[in-house]
Amino acid sequence: MVEPAATGVRKTAVSALVAAETISVLGTRMTYLALPWFVLVTTGSPGKMSLVLAAEILPMAILGIPSGSVVQRLGSRTTMLVADAARAPILVSIPVLHSAGALSFELLLVLVALLGCFMAPYFASQRTILPELVGEDETRMSQANSAIEGGTAVAAIVGPALAGALIPFLGAPNVLYVDAATYVVAFVLILVFVPRRKPVAATTEHGMLAGLRFLLRDQLLGPIAAIVVATGFLGAAMTAGLPVYAYDEFDGRPWIAGAFYAALGAGALVGSLVAIVVVRKVAPLRLAGVAILAFLVPMWVLPFLPPWPVVLGALFAASFFAPLINGPVFGVLTARTPYTLRAKVLTAVVAVNTLAAPLGFLAAGQILEHWGVAPLFAVVTVGMTVAGLAFAAIAWRHAGKGEVVPEPATS
């Protein structure tokens, strides 16, 4: 029987994780608009903007798998603290150097790449610490993941809209100070409210690639990982297209670009609230398989470049179904993975998810430079449809088979 005091500690720790994620993503989403907007305004080049986005994602792909060993050695909580403590001063250096006239484009790429180095281990640590807080049950982990998705969605609504409103008054570089402050707040929340845990015991399967080998051998996770590569590529391309669409088609008004990202966040927030309830009643994989088909329908609006209110509605509708896909999938993934391999498997998933993203940004930059936004959105929509149909087929094939939840290691 679980003691009430222990249950209270776990609820507080999960709440702290959600709060830290919400606050951190608030600043990150502001930067997500402010940084590419800054590059567009100062250089006028969508290609250079795409390079900056790629520079942040590339380290996640390169270092994602090796960082699994770091998470396993340090423990999830320590890894999160280190990541927050490192990213705050890196972000502050960008507006400071810009104000001093010392921020070259090459140096900006280096600083953005340094930020990206901490993303994969931080994201994986959020997931590997959840079983310690909520137990090994697949449904509870799916609910906890959906709660984190909900916190992210709240920040995704407020962050871009706030950035779009502040950029004309503060300037895009100065918005980065807010992002740096959010990492400090997230650091304090984790330090104070998330209890210290022992690092996960070393796995009997040694080496950095242990997590990747597990993924490739698994009949469910292996095919899904391949689809994730494709969606990472296409999702990055769409992300690169949204600010350019606002900049080119709507008189360079940053608040419209902010509204696009806010619509994505609003849809994800509502979807997260629904996911927390629905995942208790529907098998996670079956839910994800249906949700991804619903996600695809509003995507087909984008290639026609409709008025911006229609785009807002389409983005909201599509993102509504994203938590109904992500929460269940990460719950199943965590439960399906042996306890001692989770850090390496989850960092491998992050690496696979971001492996194609830099190429997606770069490809989007070339398409935008030579052909414009409509062809880019057409490629993204068709590609997402093919990947989504494949994912749904795999999810439904495995949904009725049940999952074996591995037991935690005992000391």
Separation CA 129–CA 127 (nearest Å): 5
Q: What is the DSSP letter of 341?
A: G
Q: What is the DSSP letter of 256?
A: H
The confidence band for 403, taking pLDDT boundaries of 50, 70 and 90, is very low
pLDDT of residue 202: 45
Range with lowest mean pLDDT among 8-12, 121-125, 136-140, 351-355: 136-140
Separation CA 264–CA 259 (nearest Å): 9
**pLDDT tens readout for residues 192-251:** 888 776 544 444 445 556 767 777 777 777 787 778 778 878 888 888 888 888 888 777
SS3 119: helix
Separation CA 92–CA 174 (nearest Å): 9
H/E run at residue 306: none
Separation CA 65–CA 47 (nearest Å): 28
φ/ψ region of 135 (left if φ > 0, alpha if ψ in -120 to 50, else beta) reads: left
Separation CA 332–CA 218 (nearest Å): 13
Classify the C-alpha dihedral 307-310-316-320 as positive or negative.
negative
pLDDT of residue 378: 93
- 209/48: higher pLDDT: 48
CATH 3.10.180.10 fits 4-193+208-399, yes or no: no
Q: What is the dihedral of CA 78, 82, 88, 94, to 10 degrees?
A: -150
pLDDT of residue 99: 85
pLDDT(115) > 80: yes
pLDDT of residue 136: 58
* Domain boundaries, given as residue ranges, for the chain: 4-193+208-399
pLDDT(379) > 90: yes
